[in-house]
Chains A and B, each alone.
Chain A
């Protein structure tokens, strides 16, 4: 796999989506990395949080026999897998064994084929800031070999110094601001808020903050007071920061969040209005 003889950093990739209209400007390829340092209550893809420990439990359970146990790794036969997710259900880590390990060059080769159809590449998660050496090299290859733009969708928790190595090759960052109340942020994500704000300030100062996203979820972000605080914080950094509000949807959410209600159109529209009246000039919401 790593046949260039150099000690290339490896990336662990959960999934590559070749066409996305909702992950940044234009049509984009989206690379979903495995591994995240947040444990959001409503996580919609919890199988990307932890890493496979090669315990082998799933190998016996797989009805398609698409998994085999190697020395310290599970091998996945994509061709016969039917994506029934039985492996994830039995996993003690709730981690997907269906990941691929790439060198930066291998990943670029995979994406380059669809280069004519896309504006750029977005890296999402999992959490991109956990695989910075790999991404820095991958983005460098993208920039050296194409006109494609590069974007990360990050939770911002790693703080500014974590992004430094990839910065020369990174065009844009979307940062999730899960919740603007420090206590509720900790409760919702399992991690403190302060470095997230630091990252938002950092990307804004670099001119690379594509947008801030917030999932509008009951009890955390759906009240006018929540949005007043969020908008106030962001407007204090830069009133022109683009804020996109994403409607929480219970479908695919894990744990108790599967029982939560989706905010109504009226609620979403009211929050957009609140954000605007609290100093942000560019606010929109998802469908």
Chain B
């Protein structure tokens, strides 16, 4: 297989069958040299990139020729996880247990007060066992509320402010994610306050339940979202119906069980998949998707197996030994993206997804059919989601040139607000592993956050699981699912080194691929 046939985000030297070969040593060395000499990466970023290059030099675990073809064609994408995953992609540790009981490995005592609790959390984040970043930092209001009265209100505010600053400065990425709600709390209110004040990059989700989240707390969250594009508004009743109450949101907007993890995210490019069906949507639904799903789940299983059976990740791992993670709650994501292009492939020269009722119906049928074929193909080690891969809508990466993230209508082509919501809502129905719709408001919204809350509630009634709210005035730019600071984006273009790795990821998306980006200048 020629290296140049591999789609991005593979590196030039990667070879799925053989790993590093005599022919690919030269491009490998060049890649390493480029990293060593990069002017716009700081030490940590170089170290991480060097580690990724090492993994990329390995051969892929054995898979069928058909599965390998789908990867090589780009229909299935491994999202730069590397040929040989040596850790899960996401985990959701039980931080409450660390606060309650301490951690022998981390040499932490049970927390007695707010100082102890925040120190223990920051310590635990440092040792986060997946993906190089603590992509889940806890349901923070629940975690810290038991300690909030251990100090005076003013001290509590100062401690949370320092904590929130350190979360960002030690883990500078829009993929680092905290959860709040559905109940209001002193901690939740303080965290919303300091998040707005500090303007850090850390991502936040409010698990919103119109029946149980107090209006005042929800309105505060809306005001924050309009100012700093977070928190996300998650349809907690809909998510709890699928997951029970012990689920979390990590990274962009990814759902997984508390104490669980996600081994891998293997995503299906629906544009490329649709093209395999010629111009016959029924063939796509009846033949192509069932065929692909066999290989898709095979790839997912091969990666889970490698982590468990080959690398033996669960053994000699203090997170497991101390009961902070539980193997029975792990699963893997089967992600989809480019639904818009997949649908529009069958509506050439017509209005298409978001504008043609027939296209919208096909979008709904495709997302439903994928749920069915994933149900038909059990995946080993996915006990956390009933032995089936977890269905996820993936937000896209810099190298996606011709596809729209997840199940979204292409940015700039969205119909009027309610139609936009009602078109995307049916595609949220089965995708309980993470999906979001982006809504952006003009400056009148800041004076009337209750109006935005009306629309959020209407969207939830329509079946939307997760909403990202923003306004044209925000200092953040939400690229697909993660955040970057507007100022960082400008600096990245000027090739300055930055703490935020997500800015580098977002920059290419901003400049080259408007399909990914909800353009900030456009008013809804």
Judge: A and B partners, yes or no: yes
Q: A18-B418, A19-B417, A21-B445 are in contact. Are A26 and B451 (CB under 8 A)?
A: yes
Judge if B447 is at the interface, Cβ distance under 8 Å: yes
Enumerate chain A residues within 8 angstroms of B452, measured Cβ to Cβ. Answer: 21, 27
Contact assessment for B454 and A27 in the assembled complex, using a CB-CB cutoff below 8 Å:
yes
Enumerate chain B residues within 8 angstroms of A287, measured Cβ to Cβ. Answer: 443-444, 447
Contact assessment for A117 and B458 in the assembled complex, using a CB-CB cutoff below 8 Å:
yes
CB closest residue in chain A, given B448? A21
Interface of chain B: mostly helix, strand, loop or mixed: helix
Please provide the chain A residues from 96 to 141 with a CB less than 8 Å away from any CB of chain B in the complex: 114, 116-119
Enumerate chain B residues within 8 angstroms of A25, measured Cβ to Cβ. Answer: 450
Distance to closest chain A CB from B36 (angstroms): 52
Q: Mark B438-461 against chain A: 1 for CB-CB distance below 8 A, else 0.
A: 000101110110111111011101
Pick the residue among B417, B441, B443, B462 that contacts A116 (CB under 8 A).
Answer: B462
Judge if B416 is at the interface, Cβ distance under 8 Å: yes
Judge if A1 is at the interface, Cβ distance under 8 Å: no
A28 to B444, CA, bound (A): 13
Q: Mark A1-35 against chain B: 1 for CB-CB distance below 8 A, else 0.
A: 00000000000000000110110011110000000
Contact assessment for B450 and A26 in the assembled complex, using a CB-CB cutoff below 8 Å:
yes
Distance to closest chain B CB from A142 (angstroms): 16
Q: How large is the interface on A (under 10, 10 to 19, 20 to 34, 35 or more residues)?
A: 10 to 19
CB closest residue in chain A, given B459? A117
Contact assessment for A18 and B458 in the assembled complex, using a CB-CB cutoff below 8 Å:
no
Contact assessment for A21 and B447 in the assembled complex, using a CB-CB cutoff below 8 Å:
yes
Q: Which of A18, A19, A21, A22: most chain B Cβ within 10 A?
A: A21
Enumerate chain A residues within 8 angstroms of B453, measured Cβ to Cβ. Answer: 26
A118 to B458, CA, bound (A): 8
Enumerate chain B residues within 8 angstroms of A27, measured Cβ to Cβ. Answer: 448, 450-452, 454-455
Q: Mark B451-481 against chain A: 1 for CB-CB distance below 8 A, else 0.
A: 1111101110110000000000000000000
Enumerate chain B residues within 8 angstroms of A26, measured Cβ to Cβ. Answer: 448, 450-451, 453-454
- Number of A-B residue pairs, CB cutoff 8 Å, is 50
Q: A116-B458, A118-B458, A287-B443 are in contact. Are A21 and B451 (CB under 8 A)?
A: yes
Q: Which of A19, A26, A27, A119: most chain B Cβ within 10 A?
A: A27
Contact assessment for B454 and A118 in the assembled complex, using a CB-CB cutoff below 8 Å:
yes
A101 to B450, CA, bound (A): 32
Q: Which of A19, A116, A118: most chain B Cβ within 10 A?
A: A116
Q: A21-B445, A22-B444 are in contact. Are A119 and B416 (CB under 8 A)?
A: no
Enumerate chain B residues within 8 angstroms of A18, measured Cβ to Cβ. Answer: 416, 418
Distance to closest chain A CB from B442 (angstroms): 8
Q: A116-B461, A117-B458, A287-B443 are in contact. Are A22 and B448 (CB under 8 A)?
A: yes
A25 to B444, CA, bound (A): 13
A19 to B421, CA, bound (A): 13
Distance to closest chain A CB from B226 (angstroms): 11
A26 to B416, CA, bound (A): 19
Enumerate chain A residues within 8 angstroms of B451, measured Cβ to Cβ. Answer: 21, 26-28, 119
Enumerate chain A residues within 8 angstroms of B459, measured Cβ to Cβ. Answer: 117
Distance to closest chain A CB from B85 (angstroms): 43
A44 to B418, CA, bound (A): 27
A26 to B454, CA, bound (A): 7
Distance to closest chain B CB from A134 (angstroms): 25
Ranked nearest first, the 3 interchain pairs of A and B with the lowest CB-CB distance are: A117-B458, A27-B451, A27-B454
Residues of A within 8 A of B (CB): 18-19, 21-22, 25-28, 114, 116-119, 287
With A114-B458, A116-B458, A287-B447 known, 13 other A-B pairs at CB within 8 A are: A21-B441, A25-B450, A26-B448, A26-B450, A26-B453, A27-B450, A27-B451, A116-B461, A116-B462, A117-B418, A117-B458, A118-B458, A287-B444
What are 13 residue pairs bridging A and B, where the CB atoms are less than 8 Å apart in the complex? A21-B444, A21-B451, A22-B447, A26-B453, A26-B454, A27-B450, A27-B452, A28-B451, A117-B454, A117-B459, A118-B454, A119-B451, A287-B444
